[in-house]
Amino acid sequence: MTSTQLTVAQQKMIKVKEDMDLAELMVMNVLEKGLDWGLHPGTSSFALKDPGASTLINAFNCYPQPKILYREVTEVKIAYVLNVYLISREDKQVKATGTGACTTLETKYGYRWVPDPENYGYDRKDLKKRTRGEQTFYRIPNPDWSELENTILKMARKRAEVDAALGLPGVARSLTRLYTGAGSATPATKPSDEWSGFWTRAKALGFTPKKVHDLLGVDSVKYWVDDGHTLNEAIELLSKKLADLPHESPFPPDNEGGTDNA
Contact 61, 155 (CB under 8 A): no
Over range 134-159, report the average pLDDT. 92
Measured between alpha carbons, how far is 109 from 80 in angstroms, rounded to an integer? 13
* Helix pair angle (148-165, 50-59), 10° resolution: 50
Work out the pLDDT band at 79, boundaries 50, 70, 90: very high
Over range 105-109, report the average pLDDT. 87
pLDDT digits (tens, 9 = 90+) for 133-143: 889 999 999 99
Contact 117, 138 (CB under 8 A): yes
Closest C-alpha among 186, 174, 189, 202 to residue 106: 202
Work out the pLDDT band at 5, boundaries 50, 70, 90: low
| pLDDT score, position 186 | 42
Running DSSP on this structure, what letter comes out for residue 32? -
DSSP 210-241: HHHHHHHTSSSHHHHHHTT--HHHHHHHHHHT
Over range 51-63, report the average pLDDT. 92
Residue 162, pLDDT > 60, answer yes
| pLDDT score, position 13 | 65
The residue count of the chain comes to 262
Work out the pLDDT band at 67, boundaries 50, 70, 90: very high
**Bigger pLDDT: 224 or 165?**
165
pTM: 0.67
Q: Which residues contact 61 (CB under 8 A, 6 or more apart)?
A: 88, 89, 90
Running DSSP on this structure, what letter comes out for residue 204? H
Lowest mean pLDDT among 13-27, 71-85, 125-139, 170-184: 13-27
Contact 168, 56 (CB under 8 A): yes
**Bigger pLDDT: 256 or 218?**
218
Cα angle, residue 230 at apex, residues 109 and 193 outer, rounded to 5°: 45
| pLDDT score, position 251 | 44
Measured in degrees and rounded to the nearest 5, phi and psi for residue 99 equal -120, 140
Q: Which residues contact 223 (CB under 8 A, 6 or more apart)?
A: none
Burial class, 38, CB count within 10 angstroms (exposed 0-12 / middle 13-18 / buried 19+): middle
Lowest mean pLDDT among 59-68, 164-173, 204-213: 204-213
pLDDT digits (tens, 9 = 90+) for 22-32: 778 778 888 88
3-class SS at 46? strand
**Bigger pLDDT: 31 or 94?**
94
Measured between alpha carbons, how far is 133 from 65 in angstroms, rounded to an integer? 46
| pLDDT score, position 12 | 64
Measured between alpha carbons, how far is 206 from 224 in angstroms, rounded to an integer? 20
**Bigger pLDDT: 160 or 242?**
160
Measured between alpha carbons, how far is 133 from 41 in angstroms, rounded to an integer? 23
Residue 259, pLDDT > 60, answer no
pLDDT digits (tens, 9 = 90+) for 170-210: 888 888 888 887 654 444 444 555 677 778 777 777 778 88
